[in-house]
Amino acid sequence: MAQLSYQLYSSRKFGPLAQTLEMLGSLGYTNVEAYGSLLADDSTRALLGQGLRAHGLSMPSAHMGLAELEADGAAIAAIAKELGIKTVYCPHIMPDERPADAAGWRAFGARLEAAGAPIRAAGIGFGWHNHDFEFKALPDGSMPIEHLLAGGPSLSLELDVAWVVRAGADPLAWIAKYADCITAAHIKDIAPAGEKADEDGWADVGTGVMDWPALAKALQATKASLWVMEHDNPSDDARFAAASLSAAQTF
């Protein structure tokens, strides 16, 4: 059964890190997922480690940018070992870096494969976290995600299910297609049309339009060992964290 976790990026606009970790521990979270800037320097990592220990939290996964991975993958692997991170996911590329065709996406997958080599050599998992653009058809009708994963055959996938929906794709079909590749999932929700504009149209898990009971059942047939609560722009991170954990525990 998958463990529940919390993407700390959801709380980036709210108070100091120590306060966020205390809040999550008090709500009953036992796992968190870091994002790149929390791992960028020794002092921030020290505060993160102290907060994890103080509040009974583990950090089995983390996001790290491609530039940092390519600059010194061995250093990233050492940081992961230090903090108990079991899998590192590369989370994003900017629009001007995105390939325009199938060959470009296969080459990008190969680039990720190479960037992750030092991570995998250290015994740590490595993969990609999607947004919507990987699930928008190319001119030939194929999807970027297909070519990305073909170009990087060792990559795992942290599937952000709500971004698949925002792309207009069928999440159940993609979950089934990549069941053996999906090692984690981002659990987030989409508000009904016209609602939550101040939160970029996202919603607390279980309060939006996503059919999470059905999606959760499908994810249980994958290799996903982590279900990570995430909201890209909550107006109240404590509200989001509490409501989402409560909902996910019922799936």
Q: Does residue 201 fall inside a structural domain?
A: no
Contact 200, 234 (CB under 8 A): no
Question: What's the pLDDT tens digit per position in 14-28?
Answer: 989 999 999 999 999
What is the pLDDT confidence band of residue 165, given thresholds at 50, 70 and 90?
very high
Which residues are within 8 A (CB) of 52 and not within 5 positions of it... i.e. 6 or more apart?
21, 32, 58, 59, 83
Q: Whole-prediction pTM value? A: 0.96
What's the total number of domains in the chain? 1
For residues 50-72, give the mean pLDDT. 97
Q: Does residue 235 fall inside a structural domain?
A: no
Contact 42, 70 (CB under 8 A): no
What is the pLDDT confidence band of residue 238, given thresholds at 50, 70 and 90?
very high
Q: What is the pLDDT of residue 1?
A: 72
Q: What is the pLDDT of residue 114?
A: 98
Stated length of the chain: 251
The residue written with tokens 């940092």 in the block is 68
Residue 88: count other Cβ atoms within 10 Å of its Cβ: 28
For residues 106-133, give the mean pLDDT. 98
Q: Does residue 214 fall inside a structural domain?
A: no
The residue written with tokens 């993407």 in the block is 7
Question: What's the pLDDT tens digit per position in 68-78?
Answer: 999 999 999 99
Task: Report CA torsion sign: 77, 78, 81, 84.
Answer: negative
Q: What is the pLDDT of residue 14?
A: 96
Query: What Cα–Cα distance (Å) separates residue 109 from each residue in 46, 60, 156?
Result: 33, 24, 11
Report the CATH number at residue 116. Answer: 3.20.20.150
Supply the range of the domain harboring residue 51: 3-179
Instruction: Determine what percent of the chain is predicted with pLDDT higher than 70.
Output: 100
Q: Does residue 236 fall inside a structural domain?
A: no
Q: Does residue 185 fall inside a structural domain?
A: no
Q: Does residue 109 fall inside a structural domain?
A: yes
For residues 57-77, give the mean pLDDT. 97
Q: Does residue 227 fall inside a structural domain?
A: no
Q: Does residue 23 fall inside a structural domain?
A: yes
Query: What Cα–Cα distance (Å) separates residue 165 from each residue in 43, 131, 187, 190, 218?
Result: 38, 10, 12, 9, 15
